[in-house]
Amino acid sequence: MRPATGAGESAVSARWLQKAFEVIDASTSLGLEQKAGLEFAYVDALASLFGREKKSHLSNLEKYVERQPDFYVQALAWAYRRKDGKEDPPEFKAPPERKTAVAERAYKMLEGLSRLPGYGEGAELRHELILDWVQKVRALAAEIDRLDVADICIGKLLSRAPEGADGVWPCEPVRQVMEDIQSRKMLMALPSAGLTRAGWSRARAVAARNGIWPLTIARLQRPWSSRTHSWRPRSLGTWRSSTSEWPSTRTRANA
């Protein structure tokens, strides 16, 4: 297929891709793993085409990741290097000739997931399901020396959580998981990812609505401002909230 060269062709490609995945999603002849595999193969196009603020077009991949936390760790292994510089077990390596392409897809998947792993077959987030998934991912990631980056990526994923019944963000199940895990990197990634996702204009509007206007950049950089004063992590006093303390996830495997 010839690549699109103009806005008109891009629009046609976008409509075609959307229709194609609507058919795939509705198919009863394909299982969840097959649908997730197709979404992973086209994750770069899906993520860039539809954007992170719109309806998720990685719904099958998100459900598969929830059921198979080891695939999330596999993506971490493809996208990021080990801290110790050692070799990964063969099962965690991408084929040498496809290493860069697979690493980019894995990174796009990790960044593009928006459905939290904790719904199960229901419609509400459950603390015990999120905690079980997070613990499994962290245990597997530790085995291949990627616990730090796993915590950062998990924190960014949890930043997609809705507000709780009390109007405080994040919702109660996610707050409880953060208290249970007590990971500094996970906690610090949560507000920075949430702010990036929401955008400055939305953050300012939320701040004004909650009576903490004017809102300065410095206050936005402090994760638990007065907007979330009713939930403060138990170990907050031992953590500094400056952006210099926020870890970077850019130790990419293909860098």
- pLDDT, one tens digit per residue, over 196-228 is 544 444 544 554 555 443 433 344 444 444 444
**Using N-to-C axis directions, what is the helix angle for 43-50 and 32-41, rounded to 10°?**
70
Band the pLDDT of 79: cuts 50, 70, 90.
very high
State what percent of residues in the chain have pLDDT above 70: 66
Considering the domain boundaries, does residue 199 fall inside one?
yes
Q: Can you say whether the dihedral through the CA atoms of 174, 226, 195, 255 is positive or negative?
A: negative
Considering the domain boundaries, does residue 176 fall inside one?
yes
Provide the pLDDT for residue 169: 84
Considering the domain boundaries, does residue 82 fall inside one?
yes
For residue 21, is pLDDT > 60? yes
The structural domain count of the chain equals 1
Considering the domain boundaries, does residue 4 fall inside one?
no
Q: What is the pTM of this model?
A: 0.75
Considering the domain boundaries, does residue 251 fall inside one?
no
Considering the domain boundaries, does residue 1 fall inside one?
no
Residue type, 124: E
Burial (CB < 10 A; 0-12, 13-18, 19+), residue 168, is middle
The whole domain housing 94 covers 10-245
Considering the domain boundaries, does residue 203 fall inside one?
yes
Considering the domain boundaries, does residue 80 fall inside one?
yes
How far is the C-alpha of 195 from the C-alpha of 184, rounded, in Å? 18
